[in-house]
Chain A
């Protein structure tokens, strides 16, 4: 399996959240993301800073949920990839 690039990893993380009824606990998200814990922390921080995800406090603990911008990224992901590919960026 080819090494995933940054955009692919972001897309995979966001898709995991989306596929779990739009919210998931951080630990299963880390497990399903298939990246190391340290890298996951970096990505998690970046996704929060970019406002792609938000942390929601529920009675049964913290949950990660997608924001509107996160949904937008998933919606536009293929367009971004096609654009990068077309212009060899």
Chain B
């Protein structure tokens, strides 16, 4: 107990205001805000279309962006915690005190929602083919929970990297197969490219959270590219929904 108190007291004593005004942190908040806003605009912008059609593809597409918004909200929360507790990585956040609450739980929620967002987007494209197997979605939830648990329990950056690499390869394979089956529809090529880029940058974002020093130099590029991808999808949605 005295250890916990001392840890909290030390953190409170840190120059929070200085970190808060830090340009990097400000960029993080703006970045997350733009992504959350774009995701929510996609979610609410397609509400009427879903309510009228009850189309499963639209349902999963909307859920993907709702989950992206929730995941990015927790991402900002993690970054806030990193700045507040002045630590290098989320798993180091005062493990004996705030770890189970602010650190580990947030990381677990972030990982779960982000993985499910990817699975929902994948499902929105593949649901017609996978519809015969209704348990597949439950399987994805279980897989997302399992991946989140692995990342939470393992403190090895290499494990984080490998888990996300496997996830990325799985997603690219599924999208590639779907793309090949619709080869004649050339106009859809752009969409699959956008989706692949979205998945790649999402994985980079996760790695950026788990291993902050890994992408230190190219952080701004990652942020700009991620915003560009989300805004492109938002533009396409707004163009089609009016």
Contact = CB atoms under 8 A, between A and B. Distances in A.
A contact face: mostly helix, strand, loop, or mixed:
helix
Contact of B55 (A79, A82, A86, A89): A89
Interface size classification for chain A: 10 to 19
Given A80-B49, A80-B52, A89 B242 contact: no
A86 B191 contact: yes
Contacts of B49: 76, 79-80, 83
B124 interface: yes
A88 B188 contact: yes
Contacts of B240: 79, 82-83, 86-87
Interface string A55-89: 00000000000000100110010011011101111
A7 interface: yes
Contacts of B60: 89
Contact of A50 (B54, B125, B182): B54
Interface residues of B, number: 23
User: In the complex, which of the residues B125, B188, B191, B240 has the most CB atoms of chain A within 10 Å of its own CB atom?
Assistant: B240
Nearest to B194: A87
Contacts of A69: 52
Nearest to B52: A73
Given A86-B240, A88-B191, A80 B125 contact: no
Interface in B50-90: 52-55, 57-58, 60-61
A73 B54 CA distance: 11
A89 B48 contact: no
Nearest to A10: B53
A89 B53 contact: no
B52 A84 contact: no
A40 to B, nearest CB: 18
Given A79-B242, A82-B240, A89 B61 contact: yes
Interface of A: 7, 50, 69, 72-73, 76, 79-80, 82-84, 86-89
Q: Shortest 5 CB-CB distances between A and B: which pairs?
A: A89-B57, A83-B240, A80-B53, A73-B52, A86-B240
